[in-house]
């Protein structure tokens, strides 16, 4: 689209590998804007409002959900895309779609569904995000899914096992030949990590699971705490946290832009295909910031995601997913008619996949209500 000047290494829709099913061009939108709009209008996107990021949806109204998380990722992604003259619309589309395949109950849900699917090809949420936009959204008369541009699909598929990559055709190729995706995809991936790392600090503190003392031992947090506390010694904790978080995000985003510029200067890619062949990720933190960021992630892993009050909830939701999977497996008629019909397949793997699609699409509260309906109160 005309408004933004794109760098030579950015994704340009006129050079795109296009859509799986050819369509005429949009009259007054760019093709990646059109993708973004399709994503926002999808059923899976609307359901993100009731899906967990870290806290289960009923634990409180103030925590982030996957919808607000996805918006925050898009916000960070667009800012960096603008600074680097990358394609903002494509970046936004990938960011908004990156979690569409997530199960209810966050990572606990995803890991449990993966276990249930162990004998049937497993369950990967990234692959499921692609499956949602390629197959499961039923919105168009002429094709399945949302028929997104290749570069959007390439960005949504962040990770993928080699076995699955072989079955995906062009969008799986880079996992077989160690290629990189376009810069917008690389950026969306890091914007996701920036968003959840920083915002989980906020939610964890709000929930009372992380204390200021603990957080101050984290280098990335501690450095900014000292600056803010010295300048505003009487600031109440909530505002203090926001002041620190804003500085943390600003620090890592600035580093990301600087280091990426340095790499782009060194590699001088002249097209998105040069980026794909670069042999390493070009959108990246400096080594020092990468280590700080990884340190914060390790800290959250230890002190928030595995906090004992979270572990109790984790066990409960794991049991719900297992029970639902077992119940639908023994009686597909417990699912709505369109899934029950789709699950009437002779092969167990095909049947299990339909069940996994159904469970993965559930919101936290729908999964809980279904569990109560089918299995009784837990
Ligand atoms: Mg995410």
The answer to whether residue 348 is domain-embedded is: yes
Tell me what pLDDT residue 267 has: 96
Residues 215 and 355 reside in one and the same domain: no
- Ligand 1: centre distance to CA 166 (Å): 25
55 in a domain, yes or no?
yes
Confidence tier at 28 by pLDDT (50, 70, 90): very high
221 and 109, same structural domain?
A: yes
Q: Residue 192 Cα, ligand 1 centroid: separation in angstroms?
A: 5
For the chain, the domain total comes to 2
Task: Mark out the alpha helices in the chain (DSSP H runs).
Answer: 31-40, 43-47, 66-83, 88-97, 106-116, 125-131, 150-156, 162-166, 173-176, 183-206, 212-216, 219-231, 237-267, 272-276, 287-300, 308-330, 337-342, 348-361, 364-375
Burial code of 334-359, b = ≥16 C-beta within 10 A, e = fewer? Answer: bbeeebbebbeeeeeeebbbbbbbbb
Pair 221, 159 in one domain: yes
Distance 299 CA to ligand 1 centre (A): 18
338 in the same domain as 277:
no
Tens of pLDDT, residue by residue over 215-224, are 999 999 999 9
Left if phi > 0, otherwise alpha if psi is -120 to 50, otherwise beta: which for 47? Answer: alpha
Could you tell me if 299 and 205 are in contact, meaning their C-beta atoms sit under 8 angstroms apart? Answer: no
Separation of 99 CA from ligand 1 center, angstroms?
6
Same domain as 212, residue 129: yes
- Our measurement of the distance from residue 368's CA atom to the centroid of its chain's CA atoms, rounded to an integer in Å, reads 23
* CATH number, position 74: 1.10.3210.10
Residues 246 and 348 in one domain: no
What global pTM score does this model have? Answer: 0.95
pLDDT in tens, 119-134: 999 999 999 999 999 9
Task: Work out the average pLDDT over 3-25.
Answer: 92
In a domain, 127, yes or no: yes
Distance of alpha carbon 187 from the chain centroid: 12
Model pLDDT, residue 133: 98
Residue 195 Cα to ligand 1 midpoint, Å, equals 8
187 CA distance to ligand 1 middle (Å)? 13
Burial zone of 25 (CB within 10 Å; 0-12 exposed, 13-18 middle, 19+ buried): exposed
Distance from C-alpha of 13 to C-alpha of 20, rounded to nearest angstrom: 14
As given in the structure block, the two tokens for residue 140 are: 């168009």
Q: Which of 286, 309, 332 is the last residue of a domain?
A: 309
Tens digits of residue pLDDT in 232-274: 999 999 899 999 999 999 999 999 999 999 999 999 999 999 9
User: Is 328 within the bounds of a domain?
Assistant: yes
Q: Which of 309, 333, 363 is the last residue of a domain?
A: 309
Q: Output the CA 332–ligand 1 centroid distance in Å.
A: 31
- Whether the CB-CB separation of 77 and 59 falls below 8 Å is answered with no
Query: Is residue 338 within 8 Å of residue 43, measured between CB atoms?
Result: no
Q: Give distance in angstroms: CA of 10 to centre of ligand 1.
A: 23
Residue 208 has pLDDT above 90, yes or no: no
> Which residue, 309, 331, 351, sits at the end of a domain?
309
State in Å: Cα 25 to ligand 1 middle: 30
User: What CA dihedral angle connects 62, 63, 65 and 69, to 10 degrees?
Assistant: 110
How high is the pLDDT of residue 56?
A: 59
Residue 314: inside a domain, yes or no?
no
List, for residues 308-354, the tens digit of each pLDDT value: 777 778 888 999 999 999 999 999 999 999 999 988 888 999 999 99
**What mean pLDDT value characterizes the chain?**
92
Q: What is the pLDDT of residue 3?
A: 56
Q: How far is the CA of 283 from the centre of ligand 1 (A)?
A: 17
Q: Is residue 1 part of a domain?
A: no
Residue 13 domain-assigned (yes or no): no
pLDDT for 159 equals: 87
> For 257-267, how does the pLDDT look when each residue is reduced to its tens digit (9 = 90+)?
999 999 999 99
d(CA 89, CA 69): 18
Using the predicted structure, report yes or no on whether residue 68 has a pLDDT greater than 60: yes
* pLDDT tens string 170-193: 999 999 999 999 999 999 999 999
Enumerate residues 6+ apart whose C-beta is below 8 A from 18.
Answer: 149, 150
If asked whether residues 301 and 348 sit together in one domain, one would say no
Segments forming the whole domain that contains residue 364: 323-375
- Report the separation in Å between the CA atom of 98 and the middle of ligand 1, taken as the mean of its atom positions: 6
Contact indicator for 101, 360 with CB cutoff of 8 Å: yes
Instruction: Please give the distance, rounded to the nearest whole angstrom, from the Cα atom of residue 188 to the centre of ligand 1.
Output: 9
- 290 inside domain: yes
The pair phi, psi for residue 45, each rounded to 5°, is -65, -45
Alpha helical stretches, state H, 180-236: 183-206, 212-216, 219-231
70 CA to centre of ligand 1 in angstroms:
6
| 138 CA to centre of ligand 1 in angstroms | 24
* Domain identity same for 301 and 354: no
Coil, strand, or helix at residue 149? strand
**Whether residue 231 is found in the same domain as residue 90:** yes
Distance 264 CA to ligand 1 centre (A): 26
Same domain, 242 and 210: yes
Co-location of 168 and 262 in the same domain: yes
Compute, in angstroms, the gap from residue 156 CA to the centroid of ligand 1: 11
Please indicate, yes or no, whether residues 166 and 302 belong to a single structural domain of this protein.
Answer: yes
Q: Could you tell me which of 369, 349, 347, 365 has the C-alpha nearest to residue 357?
A: 349
């Amino acid at each position: 689209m005309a408004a933004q000047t794109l760098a030579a290494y950015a994704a340009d829709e006129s050079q795109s590998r296009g859509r799986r099913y050819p369509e005429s061009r949009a009259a007054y939108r760019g093709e990646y804007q059109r993708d973004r709009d399709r994503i926002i209008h999808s059923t899976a996107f609307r359901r993100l409002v009731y899906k967990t990021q870290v806290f289960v949806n009923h634990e409180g109204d103030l925590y982030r959900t996957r919808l607000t998380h996805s918006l925050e990722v898009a916000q960070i992604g667009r800012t960096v895309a603008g600074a680097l003259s990358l394609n903002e619309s494509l970046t936004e589309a990938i960011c908004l779609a990156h979690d569409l395949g997530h199960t209810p109950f966050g990572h606990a849900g995803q890991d449990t569904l993966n276990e249930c699917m162990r004998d049937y090809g497993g369950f990967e949420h990234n692959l499921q995000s692609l499956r949602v936009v390629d197959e499961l959204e039923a919105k168009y008369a002429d094709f399945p899914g949302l028929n997104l541009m290749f570069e959007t699909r390439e960005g949504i598929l962040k990770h993928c096992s080699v076995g699955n990559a072989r079955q995906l055709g062009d969008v799986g190729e880079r996992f077989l030949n160690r290629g990189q995706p376009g810069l917008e995809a690389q950026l969306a991936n890091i914007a996701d990590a920036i968003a959840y790392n920083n915002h989980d600090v906020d939610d964890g503190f709000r929930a009372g699971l992380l204390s200021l003392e603990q957080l101050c031992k984290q280098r990335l947090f501690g450095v900014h705490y000292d600056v803010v506390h010295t300048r505003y010694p009487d600031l109440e904790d909530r505002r203090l946290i926001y002041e620190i978080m804003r500085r943390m995000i600003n620090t890592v985003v600035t580093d990301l832009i600087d280091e990426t510029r340095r790499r782009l200067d060194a590699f001088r890619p002249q097209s998105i295909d040069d980026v794909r062949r670069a042999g390493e990720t070009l959108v990246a933190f400096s080594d020092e910031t990468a280590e700080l960021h990884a340190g914060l992630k390790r800290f959250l892993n230890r002190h928030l995601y595995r906090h004992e009050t979270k572990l109790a909830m984790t066990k409960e939701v794991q049991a719900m997913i297992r029970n639902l999977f077992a119940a639908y497996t023994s009686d597909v008629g417990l699912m709505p008619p369109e899934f029950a019909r789709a699950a009437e397949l002779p092969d167990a793997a095909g049947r299990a996949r339909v069940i996994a699609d159904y469970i993965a699409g559930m919101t936290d509260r729908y999964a809980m209500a279904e569990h109560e309906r089918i299995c009784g109160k837990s």
